[in-house]
Amino acid sequence: MKKIIFTLAVSLVFSASAFASSGNEVEKQEWSFNKLTANWEKDKIKRGYTVATQVCINCHSFKYVSHRNLMEVGFSEVEAMAMAATMDTKINKPLLSALEPTDAKDSFGKIPPDLSVINKAREGGADYVYAILTGYPEEIPIDFEGANYNTAFAGHNIAMPAPLSEDLIEYEDGTPATIEQMAHDVAYFLQWTAEPELLKRKKLGTYVLVYLFIFAILAILVNRRIWARLKK
């Protein structure tokens, strides 16, 4: 049991270090899910869902996500069913794009990736997604030759046109739909779809580290007491 706990602790530390060093090429943003005491925030999930299902899904699918999954972050079954009905789908059906792969390839030269776990698949995670979505400058270099210029994309030549524009959607809670706000919200949503267990894992890791710290202190004290007796 102690060996398992130790292994979990080492894995947690390694994962945290990897995550911290993964976004070196993009500017780091403030994310509530990075806090040890954080919980998935329903309002942010809803805004991110709105961007995902009104903008992203035009080209990208979320084949590992259904409306029923939203019940895991505080949505009631009635709410989830209502959201599914708005999209004319069932609560258990995955969120799939209506864009056919052949049409996507004709339009963009490649099939857009599924976004369900994109934050785990791309180095930098949510920071990278945010940087890409906000990385379309109004003015591009004169000597640029390619499809679309993006400051965060490797080589700067990206097949995806700028998907966001000011006031592209309307949030139910009245939040201004700026490009930065929409990018932040959908990156937050994609972090949840990619790692729904993230916060539970962090909390477990915290408990494990506290246990190991207390165990280490007790071990040191016992060791000193034993050696003190032997010296006598």
- The pLDDT-based confidence of 230 (bands split at 50, 70, 90) is low
| Residue 134: partners with Cβ closer than 8 Å, 6 or more residues away | 152, 164, 179, 180, 183
pLDDT at 12 over 90: no
Given a contact cutoff of 8 angstroms between Cβ atoms, the answer to whether 132 and 153 are in contact is: yes
Q: How far is CA 22 from CA 60, 116, 119, 190, 198, in A?
A: 24, 19, 11, 17, 16
Helix 179-194 to helix 42-54 angle (10° resolution) is 100
Q: How far is CA 219 from CA 63, 159, 224, in A?
A: 49, 58, 9
In a domain, 103, yes or no: yes
Helix 198-231 to helix 2-22 angle (10° resolution) is 130
State residue 21's pLDDT score.
37
In which domain, by residue range, is 150 found? 24-204
pLDDT at 15 over 50: no
In a domain, 212, yes or no: no
Q: What are phi and psi of 118, to 5 degrees?
A: -60, -30
Smallest CA-to-CA distance from 16 within 198, 213, 215, 211 is with 198
In a domain, 15, yes or no: no
Average pLDDT over residues 215-222: 70
pLDDT in tens, 208-218: 555 565 767 76
In a domain, 217, yes or no: no
Predicted structure pTM score: 0.76
State residue 24's pLDDT score.
41
State residue 20's pLDDT score.
38
**DSSP for residue 173:** T
State residue 102's pLDDT score.
86
Tokens matching residue 161 = 């046109």
**Number of domains composing the chain:** 1
What percent of the chain has pLDDT above 70?
A: 78
pLDDT in tens, 116-173: 999 999 999 999 999 999 999 999 999 999 999 999 999 999 999 999 999 999 999 9
Q: How far apart are CA 117 and CA 75, in angstroms?
A: 21
CATH code assigned at 164: 1.10.760.10
State residue 44's pLDDT score.
96
In a domain, 222, yes or no: no
In a domain, 65, yes or no: yes
In a domain, 14, yes or no: no
In a domain, 218, yes or no: no
Q: Is 218 helix (H, G, I), strand (E, B) or coil?
A: helix
